[in-house]
Amino acid sequence: MDDFDLVVLGAGAAGMMGALAAAQRGLRVLLVDPHMDHPNNLAISGGLFPGAGSALQIQAGVTDSPDRWLADLRAFAGDSVNERIAASVAQALPEVVDFLTRGMNAPIHFLPDVVSTGHHQCRFHSTLPASGAALHQCLRQPIQGHELIHLCPRPVTVAPVGTGFEGTDDTSRWRAPHVMLAGGGFGAHPTWVAQHIPAMRGALYNGADYNDGSTIALGLDWGGQLWGMDGFQGQGHTNPGGRTRLGMAIPALGGILVNQLGQRFVREDIGPSALAPWVMAQPGGVALEVFDSHIEAGMTQHSAYQAALQAGQVMRADDVPTLAALAGVDPMGLQATLSAVQDMARGQATDPLGRTQFARSLNAPYLASWVTGALSHTQGGLVTDGDGRLLNAQDLWVRGVWAAGGCAAGLSGRGAEGYLPGNGLAQSFGLAWRMAQALGSPGA
Ligand SMILES: Cc1cc2nc3c(=O)[nH]c(=O)nc-3n(C[C@H](O)[C@H](O)[C@H](O)COP(=O)(O)OP(=O)(O)OC[C@H]3O[C@@H](n4cnc5c(N)ncnc54)[C@H](O)[C@@H]3O)c2cc1C
């Protein structure tokens, strides 16, 4: 029988952060993931996470703080904010950035030019270029061969025994006083999606295959409760088929969305998540994202856009009729829309859809790409406190059990609109970090 201090179920954003941070506190960790070599949501993601008040952000001369991020989250998501965890995640994020850069020597940078809906300050961090796959590698690499982290790439069974937990993978047995649930959300569980998020029943899903809710089910079996199950991260900039996406930056740089009639239908700056249902409601469930070469020049560090470009998803044209013909949208409609947008961008007209910032007037040569709405990641899950302790229906700790990432209740809920960009990784890293600090404290 092997003894560990902590068993982590899931080696994604939350699980790897939890394992590394716990090992840094001197704890012996068993990290279990039967799909270790399959892309998880961290690897698929854009890799952008907020760190308001990080040393890197301060060095860049940006005035920000955890409280300002919290204020933005509350302004954006209103009463759907998960107040049980929001403040402690806010405080944790600058420490997470510091841990990754100084503790792990990870090549993480502050990104001074990534603007986003709902964030009143540039506060995203990532690799350069921003990439979930590269961020995944930053965490996976120090885990390989770590003297305090033992990897188990096989399915396990685990059960409470006495005051701790015992488990097996059929080749070995182990025990530990603490278990962290970190198997991701339930986006790959169509029945649960239909039950909890009926608007996304049968929708394109562009997240990881093994986010099937298995660790949510385990937490429920052990006495946990659920919160915010209708919350999700949508993606309204996904290319049809779901293999590539444009990323969230184009509207903030001045891009627009039109339907097959060449008409706008939404203020494009509501955020990539909230856009998804709007795009899905258009004829054919698609929209044409229209921008120009000036905007594209600002996308060199956006790996998602570069992947879409490489995949041949971006059309180019020297004038509007050619673009309309290439895309197969109504040329008169598109011309009228672009003229109207030009007036709005110059301050000569008001947008009937309510958008106030257009960043710039679009000019030839024009670029465009078809997009649809997708479900990327679910945000509802097991209720925890701000350190990731699993809470039962009486709000008492299910002793020894922790949860973070997609299997735990997210930072905010309410459909797609409550998802502030960066919330997914913020909660995954923040709660996992807090868990490790609590576990590493005397008397834990
Ligand atoms: C297309 C897309 C783009 C995104 N972009 C961003 C972004 O730019 N910024 C942001 O903040 N968020 C983004 N997200 C969300 C972000 O990826 C997730 O919030 C985050 O990865 C969740 O971390 P996790 O550890 O819960 O899940 P994952 O990273 O998916 O890891 C879960 C792991 O658990 C394993 N597992 C599953 N079940 C079990 C089990 N029973 N036992 C053991 N292991 C198990 C899986 O194999 C997987 O490796 C994006 C998501 C998608 C899909």
List pLDDT tens digits, range 186-243: 999 999 999 999 989 989 999 999 999 999 999 999 999 999 999 999 999 999 999 9
Q: Which atom of ligand 1 is nearest to the CA of 422?
A: 11
Q: Of 258, 236, 267, 257, nearest to 357 (Cα)?
A: 267
Q: In this structure, which residue's CA is closest to atom 30 in ligand 1? A: 41
The type of residue at 435 is M
**Helix-helix angle 331-345:320-327, to 10 degrees:** 130
Q: How confident is the model at residue 115 (pLDDT cuts 50, 70, 90)?
A: confident
- Maximum Cα–Cα distance for the chain, whole Å? 74
Selected from 3.30.160.270, 3.40.50.920, 3.10.20.90, 3.50.50.60, the CATH number assigned to the domain covering 2-231+379-439 reads 3.50.50.60
- Tell me which residue has its CA closest to atom 44 in ligand 1: 10
Q: Specify the fold of 234-375.
A: Flavocytochrome C3; Chain A, domain 1 (3.90.700)
Please tell me the residue having the least CA distance from ligand 1 atom 42.
9
pLDDT for 117 beyond 90: no
pTM for this model (two decimals): 0.94
Using a 6 Å CB cutoff, which residues line ligand 1? 9-15, 32-35, 40-42, 44-49, 182-184, 206-208, 210-211, 214-215, 233, 235, 376-377, 405-406, 422, 424-426, 428
Residues of the chain with pLDDT > 70, as a percent, come to 99
| Cα–Cα distances in angstroms (integers) from residue 206 to residues 60, 170, 237, 375, in the given order | 34, 33, 11, 6
How confident is the model at residue 443, as a pLDDT?
Answer: 64
Give, for ligand 1, the residue of 377, 402, 419, 435 to mutate: max count of ligand atoms closer than 8 Å to Cβ: 377
Do the two domains 2-231+379-439 and 234-375 of this chain adopt the same fold? no
State mean pLDDT over 265-286.
94
In one-letter notation, the amino acid at residue 18 is: G
3-state secondary structure of 125: strand
pLDDT confidence of residue 442: 67
- To 5 degrees, how large is the angle CA 337–CA 339–CA 342? 110
DSSP E strands in 341-421: the ranges are: 366-378, 381-382, 389-391, 397-403
42 Cα: distance to centroid of ligand 1 (angstroms): 5
Residue-level pLDDT at 218: 98
Distance separating alpha carbons of residues 330 and 258, to the nearest angstrom = 10
Candidates 42, 114, 179, 181: which one to mutate for ligand 1, based on the most atoms within 8 Å of Cβ?
A: 42
Q: Which of 33, 41, 119 to mutate to test the pocket of ligand 1 (most atoms within 8 A of CB)?
A: 41
Q: Which residues contact 360 (CB under 8 A, 6 or more apart)?
A: 253, 254, 294, 295, 345
Angle between helices 13-24 and 132-143 (to 10 degrees): 40
Domain boundaries, the chain: 2-231+379-439, 234-375
Which residue bears the tokens 């409550």?
Answer: 418
Report residue 388 as tokens: 């990731």
